Amino acid sequence: MANDWLMNPALLMMVAGLLAIRLPARLLGPLAVITPALGLLMLWQLPDGEHGVVSLYGFTLTTLRVDGLSFVWGVIFHIAAMLAGLYAWHVKDRMQQSAALIYAGAAIGAVLAGDLLTLFLYWELTAISSVLLIWASRTARAYTVGLRYLVIQVISGLLLMAGAIIHYRATGSLAFNHLGLGSPGGLLIFLAFGIKCAFPLLHNWLQDAYPEATVTGTVVLSAFTTKLAVYALARGYAGEEILITIGALMTAFPIFFAVIENDLRRVLSYSLNNQLGFMVVGVGLGTEMALNGAAAHAFAHILYKALLFMSMGAVLLRVGTVKASELGGLYKSMPWTTAFCIIGAMSISAFPLFSGFVTKSMILTAAAVEHQWLVWTVLLFASAGVLDHSGIKVPFFSFFYHDAGHRVKEAPWNMLLAMGITALLCIGIGIWPDPLYAILPFPVDYAPYTSYHVITQLQLLMFAALAFCVLLRNGWYPAEIPSTNLDFDWFYRRLLPAALRRLQSFVSALDRGFRSGAMKLLDVVLAKLAKSHGPGGVMSRNLSTGTMVSWLSAFLALYLFLSFYW
Amino acid sequence: MKSADEKAWLEQPATVNKIVYAVWGICALLVVAEFFYEKHPHFGFDGWFGFYAGFGFLAYCTIVLSAKALRRLLKRSEDYYGE
């Protein structure tokens, strides 16, 4: 078809985002829910294959590609946008409503992009639109954090562009298919994806920025950027073995930070990072089962992570803080939010009958089938860690434990409805995974509910829960205390600025030294000149005629004398 | 009406004890279950008696206690970065 590039749900979302700038405030909520619903219908109508082929300055761009991989991401991105829209129904801030729609649209456009240039444009748009959700907090801190976030996201985009150009010059094609790590272009693009996917040491933008966004903004942020990166890795680097190592590291290291972190939205950000690790391992394994697992886990994860961020957002809205050290006993005031949070916690912990159980296990099984015993053990270890920070810590310290005395209203109806629907989806996927399995990229040959799987998983989780009881009752569980924990961002928030300040003061000292040295030299020269040329100086003395005549006679005498001998 | 200093049902020590005993009970049942199902271990070591139970307990303790130790190295005041 000639003009089917207009049939792109991403464009619909972005047009709605622009509309939100002008629409009456009471229509913002409905717009944020109805638009993604229409977008989902559009996506469902599109036949598999490449659409929206546009020629631009001699490049052939495929703006719309529907296949097994992009479809499942497209579907969950629409669902996430709908739920986030409902959760933010009451928000009258145009900046947030508009940014959320454009951001979701850009993420949808990126997963549907069939070429690297289209991908790059949407990639950068996700960065620019999402930062507004952080700045919408309108605090000085959010402004600084947002700038840091934007710089890192834009660097990712520039790497993608540079990589795409090199790739194009080497292959003559901009098509976004398997890229591999064998070429310089492929390496740069890998790094670009790695930044957005929060690879270890490239991860801190996530824990830095997400907890600073608005109540509703964090829910939106949690869904798109990082899962877009997982999609891009699955498209371009499936089966690259280094991803298995990177992913395993990603599942493991954030759990330690999550245990000692006090801000519960930051705990969830570390937890998000850890969940991404499971997906990255799946992509790295690269088998059909592993890629199915990565896609299914991304789908389930977006829902339960959104649910957890929604529940903490409701707490933040009502209590004004999500610091574990200042919370406790909220189940009395917010019983529904408590219940939904627990459902999210059980889903992420992968209890049987909840969504994580039927998706995460596909990745672990795929690792076992590939005889990756070490990776499998790390993933199992990380699963116990997930139970701690997201399964127990987040609900326990906010809604139970010591009553901090907050007596607040339950969350608004739209937030409860959004949480309720998300919770239903989490349980629905857990009980009846077949519809999700049906839209995965490859045919699924996996049965999650075997007695072996159910019992072993329950053993793992319940004994970990038992460990929690033992540690807590003996006073060995680390207390929740207000603190900042150093992470890799220390290098660019502390060390680098300090080093630059040092360098600057060194350079300015050097500069001062040179200047004062030069000034001293100049002074000495001037003094010398003043001595010789100044009043009474040798060079400015008036010599008498007599002296001159005597010198002349002396020279003549010398001349005469010498002329006798030569 | 409950008086202000009276703790809610869920916070009374007796209730908390019951919950903890229930966790112990469930764990005991899960160990007993070891005798009653067919194992399909992938590697060998994951088929050992009570492997998942022991692994879950030890992994959890390792994570929490080492994170607690990590605090000595990583913990700074809340306004460390001065933002």
pLDDT at B16: 86
Chain A partners of B38 at a C-beta cutoff of 8 Å? 451-452
Residue-wise pLDDT for A361-382, tens only, equals: 999 999 989 888 999 999 999 9
Is B59 among the domain residues?
yes
pLDDT at B3: 47
B52 with B64, same domain? yes
Chain A partners of B76 at a C-beta cutoff of 8 Å? 483-486
pLDDT at A530: 86
Chain B partners of A371 at a C-beta cutoff of 8 Å? 43
B46 with B63, same domain? yes
Is B55 among the domain residues?
yes
Residue-wise pLDDT for A525-549, tens only, equals: 999 888 888 777 777 766 677 788 8
pLDDT at A1: 46
Is B28 among the domain residues?
yes
Whether the predicted pLDDT of A519 surpasses 90: yes
Q: How confident is the model at residue B5 (pLDDT cuts 50, 70, 90)?
A: low
| Percentage above 90 pLDDT, chain A | 67
B65 with B43, same domain? yes
Is B14 among the domain residues?
yes
Q: Do B55 and A460 make contact, defined as CB atoms within 8 angstroms?
A: yes
Q: Do A467 and B74 make contact, defined as CB atoms within 8 angstroms?
A: no
Interface test with A, best of B57, B72, B73, B75 (most A CBs within 10 A): B57
Closest-CA distance of chain B to residue A195, Å: 23
How many domains does the structure of chain B reveal? Answer: 2
Q: How confident is the model at residue A565 (pLDDT cuts 50, 70, 90)?
A: confident
For B64, which of A403, A477, A485 is closest by C-beta distance?
Answer: A477
pLDDT at B1: 42
Chain B partners of A477 at a C-beta cutoff of 8 Å? 64
CA distance A514 to A44: 71
As given in the structure block, the two tokens for residue A509 are 């000292």
B20 with B44, same domain? no
pTM for the whole structure: 0.89
Query: Using an 8 Å Cβ cutoff, are A278 and A380 in contact?
Result: no
Q: How confident is the model at residue A247 (pLDDT cuts 50, 70, 90)?
A: very high
B28 with B43, same domain? no
Letter string b/e over residues A426-436, b meaning 16 or more CB atoms within 10 A of that residue's CB: beebbeebeeb
B49 with B30, same domain? no
Q: Do A484 and B81 make contact, defined as CB atoms within 8 angstroms?
A: yes
Handedness of CA A530, A535, A537, A539 (dihedral sign): positive
B43 with B70, same domain? yes
B47 with B71, same domain? yes
Is B33 among the domain residues?
yes
A·B CB contacts under 8 A? 156
Q: Do B26 and A462 make contact, defined as CB atoms within 8 angstroms?
A: yes
B39/A contact by beta carbon, under 8 A: yes
As given in the structure block, the two tokens for residue A15 are 């047009």
Q: Do A463 and B74 make contact, defined as CB atoms within 8 angstroms?
A: no
Chain A partners of B64 at a C-beta cutoff of 8 Å? 259, 388, 467-468, 471, 476-478
B71 with B43, same domain? yes
B17 with B45, same domain? no
Residue-wise pLDDT for A95-136, tens only, equals: 999 999 999 999 999 999 999 999 999 999 999 999 999 999
Distance of alpha carbon A157 from its chain centroid, rounded? 12
As given in the structure block, the two tokens for residue A304 are 């339960």
Mean pLDDT across the stretch B45-53?
86
Please determine, for the modelled complex, whether the ipTM score is greater than 0.85. yes
For B27, which of A329, A463, A486 is closest by C-beta distance?
Answer: A463
B45 with B71, same domain? yes
Identify the domain containing residue B65 by its residue range: 39-75
Alpha-carbon distances, residue A525 vs A521, A533, A536 (angstroms): 6, 12, 17
Is B2 among the domain residues?
no
pLDDT at A219: 93
Q: Which of A413, A418, A401 is nearest to A331 (CA)?
A: A401
Is B13 among the domain residues?
yes
SS3 content of chain A, % helix, strand, coil (to 5): 75, 5, 20
Is B63 among the domain residues?
yes
B31 with B44, same domain? no
Q: Do B50 and A469 make contact, defined as CB atoms within 8 angstroms?
A: no
